[in-house]
A and B are shown apart, each in its own frame.
Chain A
Amino acid sequence: MDLIQKIRDANLLGRSGSRFPVFEKWVRLSEKDGKKFLICNGAEGEPGVFKDKYILNNEPEKVVDGIEKVIEVLDINKSFFYLRKDYLKLFEKKLKNLFTAEIAIKRKDDRYVAGEETSVINSIEGNRGEPKIKPPYPTEQGLWNHPTLIHNVETFYAISEIANDEYKGKKFYCISGAVKNEDVFKLDKDLTVRDVLIKTENYPKFDFLVQVGGGLGGIFLSSQEIDVTCNRLASVKVFDKKKFDEKEKMKSITRLLMHGNCDKCTPCREGIYRINEMLNSGYYDRDLLEEIILALEKSSYCPLGKVAGEVLNSLMKLYDN
């Protein structure tokens, strides 16, 4: 059975957090003639997410194998491995020794947003790492306007497993915060947050809440709401409820976002700034917060602003209760 069919049967979803069907991207790319590019995205900029690092540390050969299988199957002309600065230091040598195909390693721009796929493309093209308008999607017009396939490190890892008939429907979970075993775990892909905590022997004995999906892009849930799957990045951070201050959290998240965004669109550039300003000056205007969150969620340019809206919304609701 060919790899494309195997990927389809496995119903593999992208592991960057977007959960976009891998097969669909491949179909779009395989319909294209001419030059095609591939990017392996190792930006991993989400605080509290370190699964790509874990994979590159322990099984980099699988990632490279995944990339090289795809190069062959989809007839890719040129490939790039995009890595954040510290990962570059750690893994560049090791990866280069593993490459048998021609793969260029590129350093990530420093900003948080530079891990988003169109920003990655901008950055590799030599532009500022900030998002481009979609559509056109990268599979239509990516690097230098050529069709481009972009997957996360873990996605290539899973592709390799599928290609070699080793795939058992597992993915990597990052557990951090107020837990005993802060680590990366390879578990069934559709576990609920509760099950993840139980299986990793991390279920807290105290009153707690969690952030699911990363330190900036993760939604906050109370301990009553954890019977949901990790539907973005598989990361769970546990907080002791007694020590948790929603407003302080909002403050630190907005501060990080202000430094991590691209400043292109109004709600993200100005809205996040105003929320941060409000919290810093010690008052809490819930109506204003709600207004800005709505604009962020529904009218931001790229996923960063939209997700920021959802995250702040979850914190606002926790605070309400």
Chain B
Amino acid sequence: MIIKINGKNIDNVKEGETILEVARREDIEIPSLCSHSDVCVRGSCRVCVVEVKGCKDYLPACATEVYDGMEVITHNPEIQKIRKTNLELLFSQHKEECDDCVWNPGCKLLYLARRYFVEINKFDDRKEEYPELSFGGIVDFDSSKCIDCRNCLEVCPVSFLEMEGRGHLFEVTPSKEKACVYCGQCINHCPAGSFEADGEFQGVFKPFEGGEDKEIVFQIAPAARVSISEEFGLDLGTVSTGKLISGLRKVGADKVFDVSFGADFTTHEEAKEFLEQTEDDLPVMTSCCPSWVRFVECFYPDFIDKITNVRSPHIILGAVIKELSQNPDNVTVVSVMPCVSKKYEITRDELKTRHGRPVDHVLTVREVGRLFRDKNIDFLSLDEGEFDNPFGAASGNSISYGASGGVMEAALRHAYYLKTGNELMDENIKNREEFSFEMNGRKIRTKKINGLSEAVHLFEKLQENPNLYDYIEFMSCEGGCIGGGGQPVPTNERIRRSRRRGLIEEAKSKKVQPTHANKEFKKIYNKIKDKKELFYTTYTKKSPIEKIDTN
């Protein structure tokens, strides 16, 4: 198929592609706001309208599929004028709060404002008096910034966000009958920065406010070390572990450890637990994703018993750090996470040990980006730092936790080794949604889920037949933690792929691959006396209705 854009012939155009997709591929600029690879075409902002020869009206490039012989004009004076008007109208409902926004720097609205000579304050803010809401103290929604594109409604995995009539308007509002699971996908998919995590960004200095004599210990999640590169304009997929470590030291970290080292604990305990399960206990469901755990506690409490009681890696490592410290009360543990929900996880009272909360603060990747910028850290010229000992030498398998399937893969490989004394050589486990293998004559059937709507379908199946799988990994976000709600904006399909690529590269670079071969891990593991207290937790049924506060 051939189409023409601005007089230029473009062949190799495929049926089903939209004008916007073709233009992006060909590096032809068409401005867009509400279109996103994760949501179905919305066509609501009307900024991407283009001229198609033979059509009276301008058509949205995001929603218009190409046909053979189509002739498209992306810019003419009238289109420019319409885009300007529509942008001015969008700004009229968007309260600018640019200093405290997840899109700063890199805001598309502001970029387009410059590009189309938009008068940002042409109209009074229609939403000036609109409320700022807090969902459970974890996710904030500033409704005065919302531009009504409705992307958040589609990515919200539990339909907590919905449209409600307000006077003559339909608007995004939180449900009064549901709970939020704090996955933060609304944050990555809002083009206007209406959503943010709690503490974003006023809270980025909090970890350092404990006083001079505090020992500040950072730990870095696997999926954070690739995406941090995006905050500083490096190529997608660049691994920046070393620079991230150096940067954290510069801003005041006394020690920097690897959350993946904690993942070796999780792997080991989960494997052990799995091997002890009877048939009635199956399937085992993973517990690393706090949004997923909350989802079960709020909406499917009947499945609580199926979730492994082993704690997530950063919670275990936080507790181990404090346990082995000379002066645990003096240690502040800060986790750098691709996740918003981890901010919620650390507040769970079930996780407290004799030294209090295992982790004191969670900073998202976005927040670390902001912290470095505020502290004038020149990220690109930082040295390649290394993790501190003794919690720095993680196994490669535990790095894979950062992408969907990684948690289960590590646990099952380890279980296989514990049971048979051999390595599980099958590589298929990595890539398949569903996979089974033999272990001492027993068939182990696995499934990985990313996205909670998929989980709902699976639960329906499991309610009919509980004996479908032996092991199921659940991640709330698309692609696992690489697509987490604490990751930089934008996050989309292409960016998630590149983060996954970087993560695999990082995992391969580790000296030791399987957990059982990690001698450093074994040494520390044997030092911990009260394993039950530090490595295990419990879950309870929770209210399926969210606590919403007006800030």
Residues of A within 8 A of B (CB): 128, 133, 135, 258-259, 262-267, 269-271, 273-274, 291-292, 294-295, 297-301, 306
Contact = CB atoms under 8 A, between A and B. Distances in A.
A118 B113 CA distance: 33
Contact of B89 (A259, A262, A267): A267
B82 interface: yes
Nearest to A278: B123
Nearest to A257: B168
Contacts of A295: 46, 82, 85-86, 89
Contact of A269 (B49, B57, B65, B148): B148
B63 interface: yes
A270 B93 CA distance: 8
Interface of B: 41, 43-47, 49, 57-58, 60, 63, 65, 78, 81-82, 85-86, 89-90, 92-93, 123, 126, 147-148, 150, 163, 168-171
B169 A298 contact: no
A285 to B, nearest CB: 11
A258 B163 CA distance: 16
A128 B150 CA distance: 14
Query: In this complex, which of A262, A271, A274, A295 has the most chain B Cβ atoms within 10 angstroms of its Cβ?
Result: A295
A298 B89 contact: no
A135 B126 CA distance: 33
Contacts of B85: 267, 271, 291-292, 294-295
Nearest to B91: A270
Nearest to A269: B148
B46 A274 contact: no
Contacts of B81: 291, 294
A298 B123 contact: no
Nearest to A271: B89
A301 B44 contact: yes
A218 to B, nearest CB: 19
B49 A266 contact: no
Contact of A298 (B44, B45, B57, B171): B57
A274 B89 contact: yes
A263 B41 contact: no
Given A133-B63, A273-B126, A294-B85, A299 B58 contact: yes
A298 B83 CA distance: 11
B148 A300 contact: no
Query: In this complex, which of B41, B44, B93 has the most chain A Cβ atoms within 10 angstroms of its Cβ?
Result: B44
B92 A299 contact: no
Contact of A259 (B44, B92, B168): B168
A263 B169 contact: yes
A266 B82 contact: no
19 contacts: A133-B43, A264-B148, A266-B147, A267-B46, A267-B85, A270-B89, A270-B126, A274-B123, A292-B89, A294-B81, A295-B46, A295-B86, A295-B89, A298-B82, A299-B49, A299-B57, A299-B58, A300-B57, A306-B57
Contact of B43 (A263, A265, A271, A298): A265
Contacts of A265: 43-46
A271 B89 CA distance: 7
B86 A294 contact: no
Contacts of A269: 148, 169
Given A262-B170, A294-B81, A299-B58, A267 B86 contact: yes
Contact of A270 (B82, B92, B150): B92
A127 to B, nearest CB: 11
Contact of A294 (B41, B47, B78): B78
Nearest to A306: B57
Contacts of B58: 298-299
Contacts of A274: 89, 92, 123
Going nearest first, the 9 A-B pairs with the smallest beta carbon separation are A270-B89, A295-B85, A259-B168, A263-B170, A299-B46, A258-B168, A299-B49, A266-B86, A291-B85
Nearest to A268: B46
Given A133-B63, A295-B46, 10 more contacts: A262-B170, A263-B170, A264-B44, A267-B89, A269-B169, A274-B89, A292-B85, A295-B82, A298-B58, A301-B43
Given A263-B169, A270-B90, A128 B82 contact: no
Contacts of A128: 163, 170
A132 B148 CA distance: 16
Nearest to B40: A133
Contacts of A301: 43-44, 46
Given A133-B63, A294-B82, A295-B86, A266 B45 contact: yes
A266 B63 contact: no
Nearest to A305: B46
A298 B82 CA distance: 8
Query: In this complex, which of A262, A267, A269 has the most chain B Cβ atoms within 10 angstroms of its Cβ?
Result: A269
A306 B86 CA distance: 14
Contacts of A258: 168
A266 B126 contact: no
A103 to B, nearest CB: 31
A67 to B, nearest CB: 32
Given A133-B41, A135-B65, A294-B78, A266 B163 contact: no
Contacts of A273: 126
A299 B41 contact: no
Nearest to B51: A298
A266 B89 contact: yes
A299 B170 CA distance: 20
A297 B123 CA distance: 21
A295 B170 CA distance: 21
Given A298-B78, A299-B58, A266 B46 contact: yes
Contacts of A306: 57
A259 B163 CA distance: 15
B90 A266 contact: yes
Contacts of B92: 270, 274
B82 A299 contact: yes
Contacts of B150: 264
A295 B163 CA distance: 25
A270 B43 CA distance: 15
B295 to A, nearest CB: 25
B49 A298 contact: yes
B151 to A, nearest CB: 13
A259 B167 CA distance: 8
B271 to A, nearest CB: 45
Contacts of B60: 299
A295 B60 CA distance: 13
